[in-house]
Amino acid sequence: MHFLGYAAGAVLVWGIRPVAPLIVVAVVALVFIVLLEIFAPNDGGLLSGTAMLGGFIGSVSAATAIIVAVVFYAVRETEKAEAVAEFEFARSETLLRNILPGAVADRLKSRTEKVIADRHDEASVLFADMAGFTAAAGETSPPDLVSFLNEVFTAFDHLVERHGLEKIKTTGDNYMVVSGVPVARQDHAAALLRLGIDMLDKAKHMHYPNGGNVFIRIGIASGPVVAGVVGMKKFFYDVWGDTVNVASRMESTGVPGRIQVAPETYRRVLDEFEFEEREPVEVKGKGKMTTWLLMQPPN
């Protein structure tokens, strides 16, 4: 009877997908056992040889079918469980990489670092927000407001991905992006300018739920930053430093529909873009600061 195990073992070795080889193995095993019964000496019994042979063939066939069926079922259920596990793993990977930059997510999974924090000396930071958002939000129902923000930020997310940059977070109507973090790039300042131009163009085609036009202010600053992962359960990736504070001030003191840059950003991109100098603006914590507004490219 141990020959019955060969058919079942074939299922375990090959799986359930190559059906033809499995059937061949099962049939060969069954035929081999029957041939042994026919040609090997036996001590007979109360029944005739034909009856004994028929009963033997029937019992062996039934046993083989039951074993193969059980193993098929077990293997199939195992493959289903593996497929579900693979799907859940892929979904977890996608969620993790939506929260963290890919390179940072890989470091987090490796569990070799207790604290993930890096200093980036060459980086640029962009802040953008929507002028008139607070007033418009007060006139909009919560579902419509959330739907509007989702539409705007999803459009911006696509632009960030297209430019190969890193979105950090949104706070209310405020949208933050970094360049040169976590992966260094020489054109970090110019890359954010190009993104900002596309964001302004995208905003021209958007409207608040109450019908009003959307105008965004954008501020950009360049310089060193510190970036890292904070938190245990609801962890997030964030960026800190004086450059972040200056970029935020560039946005808050900016002009709707324009991009305002700090001196360091201006110095880095003045050969690639045209600017107009503003009167010095009061920057909290910095005093008076000369800034520049990007000249709008022709439509």
H or E element that contains 24: helix 19-39
Q: What phi and psi values does residue 272 have, to the nearest 5 degrees?
A: -110, -25
Both 125 and 271 in one domain: the answer is yes
Both 86 and 140 in one domain: the answer is no
pLDDT surpasses 80 at 110: no
Identify the residue whose tokens are 């079918």. Answer: 65
Query: Alpha-carbon distance 210 to 292, whole Å?
Result: 32
Is residue 200 situated within a structural domain? yes
Both 82 and 121 in one domain: the answer is no
- Lowest mean per-residue pLDDT among 21-25, 132-136, 156-160: 21-25
Who wins on pLDDT, 56 or 154? 154
pLDDT given at position 267:
97
Is residue 20 situated within a structural domain? yes
Tokens of 28: 């060969």
pLDDT given at position 255:
95
Residue 149: which of 83, 103, 208, 74 has the closest Cα? 208
Among 24-28, 69-73, 166-170, the range with the most confident prediction by mean pLDDT is: 166-170
Which pLDDT band, with edges at 50, 70 and 90, does 197 fall under? Answer: very high
Who wins on pLDDT, 199 or 36? 199
Identify the residue whose tokens are 């019964």. Answer: 37
Residue 181 sits in a domain of what CATH number?
A: 3.30.70.1230
Both 87 and 131 in one domain: the answer is no
Both 160 and 289 in one domain: the answer is yes
Query: Alpha-carbon distance 289 to 41, whole Å?
Result: 106
Strand partners, 283: 287
pLDDT given at position 126:
99
Query: Alpha-carbon distance 31 to 4, whole Å?
Result: 11
Is residue 196 situated within a structural domain? yes
Both 163 and 221 in one domain: the answer is yes
Both 133 and 199 in one domain: the answer is yes
Who wins on pLDDT, 117 or 45? 117
pLDDT given at position 264:
96
pLDDT given at position 93:
61
pLDDT surpasses 70 at 175: yes
pLDDT surpasses 80 at 247: yes
CA atoms within 13 A on the CB side of 185: 17
pLDDT surpasses 70 at 262: yes
Domain count within the chain:
2
pLDDT given at position 208:
93
Is residue 240 situated within a structural domain? yes
Per DSSP, helices labelled H in 111-166 are: 133-138, 142-162
pLDDT given at position 285:
81
64 CB-contact burial (10 Å; exposed 0-12 / middle 13-18 / buried 19+): buried
Q: Is the peptide bond before 263 cis (omega within 30 degrees of 0)?
A: no
Q: What is the arithmetic mean of pLDDT over 195-204?
A: 96
> Residues in the chain, how many?
299
Quick check: helix, strand or coil at residue 40?
coil
Domain's final residue, options 47, 70, 98: 98
Identify the residue whose tokens are 């069954």. Answer: 30
pLDDT given at position 18:
58
Both 129 and 9 in one domain: the answer is no
The range of the structural domain enclosing residue 32 comes to 2-98
Which pLDDT band, with edges at 50, 70 and 90, does 74 fall under? Answer: confident
pLDDT given at position 82:
79
Both 137 and 66 in one domain: the answer is no
Is residue 145 situated within a structural domain? yes
Domain's final residue, options 66, 98, 130: 98
Both 67 and 127 in one domain: the answer is no
Both 146 and 84 in one domain: the answer is no
Both 69 and 207 in one domain: the answer is no
- Lowest mean per-residue pLDDT among 64-68, 128-132, 199-203: 64-68
What average pLDDT does the chain have?
Answer: 82
Tokens of 79: 């493959």
Is residue 108 situated within a structural domain? no
What is the tens place of the pLDDT at every residue in 207-221? 999 888 999 999 999
Is residue 270 situated within a structural domain? yes
Domain's final residue, options 98, 127, 156: 98
Is residue 107 situated within a structural domain? no
Who wins on pLDDT, 56 or 160? 160
Compute how many other C-beta atoms are within 10 angstroms of the C-beta atom of residue 68. 20
pLDDT given at position 20:
61
pTM: 0.70
| Burial track 19-36 (b if 16+ CB lie within 10 A, e otherwise) | eeebeebbeebbeebeee
pLDDT surpasses 60 at 167: yes
Cα 252–255–256 angle (5° rounding)? 100
